[in-house]
Amino acid sequence: MKRKTFILLALAIALVTFNTYAQDGTGSNRSVSGFNRVESGGPFNIHIKINGTESLRLDVDADLLDDIKTEVVGGTLKIGFKHNFSFHRNIKRGDIYITAKSLEGLGNSGSGSTEVEGVMDGQNVSVTLSGSGGIKTAVKTSSLQVKISGSGSINLKGNANDADFRISGSGEINGRELKTESAIAGISGSGNVYVSANKSVSARITGSGGVSYSGNAAITETKFTGSGRVNKVD
């Protein structure tokens, strides 16, 4: 009788443990290939490693797995929800892990963060952020395009011959560790751009935004509508 009671108790404990683990989420691997760009939408934290392989793992709440759509379209890995999502929903786990052979484009639309381990390397590299999220990456390119719409932040390091920065809103582009030859900035709102430039800097600012630059660059063009500013810093 005691043995039977012990077995039933052990089974009950195992069942409770399993249910708790299942609710928290165990992760899910999905097959992906043929992409050099990543676009994500939602409250996810995206972790990308550029290491010559291609893989995708969702480490999210178990009840979210069926609602998350992942597909490769025209060389872009797209991650988002199949249906409308309530951002007031309590998400305990929302991490997505990606490995890529190479990466030339990055997009984040939402409140989550995207961080790249490795260097985005290509003739033309683009980084786009829409919302309140954040992006952190290194680049090596001839032409770099960076855009923010909203209050998010982008942190960049590496090298780019020509860089084009655009902000609509109160976002921030931190390129203090990004070395450029020529930098162009267009700001609408109170956003800020920080960059290092060796040859030239030009800026068009509508609002109270600002551009701060270091390096030997000459200011070739400025246009202000409002209290915008361009400052050279050490």
The residues, ordered by sequence, that sit 6+ positions from 192 with a Cβ below 8 Å of its Cβ are 167, 172, 173, 209, 210, 211, 212
| 54 occurs within a structural domain | yes
User: In this structure, are 126 and 96 located in the same domain?
Assistant: no
Q: Dump pLDDT digits (tens) for 4-44.
A: 444 444 444 444 433 433 334 457 999 999 999 999 998 89
What are the angstrom distances between the C-alpha of 54 and each of 40, 50, 57, 144? 16, 9, 11, 24
User: In this structure, are 94 and 127 located in the same domain?
Assistant: no
User: In this structure, are 93 and 127 located in the same domain?
Assistant: no
| 13 occurs within a structural domain | no
Q: How far is CA 212 from the centre of its chain?
A: 23
User: In this structure, are 151 and 85 located in the same domain?
Assistant: no
User: In this structure, are 131 and 227 located in the same domain?
Assistant: yes
Q: What is the CATH number of the domain that holds 177?
A: 2.160.20.120
Q: Which domain holds residue 89?
A: 24-103
Q: Dump pLDDT digits (tens) for 182-211.
A: 999 999 999 999 999 999 999 999 999 999
**Considering just the CA atoms, what is the radius of gyration of the chain in Å?**
22
One-character DSSP codes across the chain: -HHHHHHHHHHHHHHHHHHHHHHH---EEE---S-SEEEEESS-EEEEEESS--EEEEEE-GGGGGGEEEEEETTEEEEEESS---TTS--S-EEEEEEES---EEEEESS-EEEEEEEEEEEEEEEEEESS-EEEEEEEEEEEEEEEEES-EEEEEEEEEEEEEEEEES-EEEEEEEEEEEEEEEEEES-EEEEEEEEEEEEEEESS-EEEEESS-EEEEEEEESS-EEEE--
Does the pLDDT at position 3 exceed 80?
Answer: no
Of 69, 103, 137, the domain-final residue = 103
Q: What is the pLDDT of residue 100?
A: 99
User: In this structure, are 234 and 123 located in the same domain?
Assistant: yes
Q: How many domains does the chain have?
A: 2
Residue percentage of the chain with pLDDT more than 90: 78
Average pLDDT of every residue of the chain: 90
Residue whose tokens read 């931190």: 174
| 4 occurs within a structural domain | no
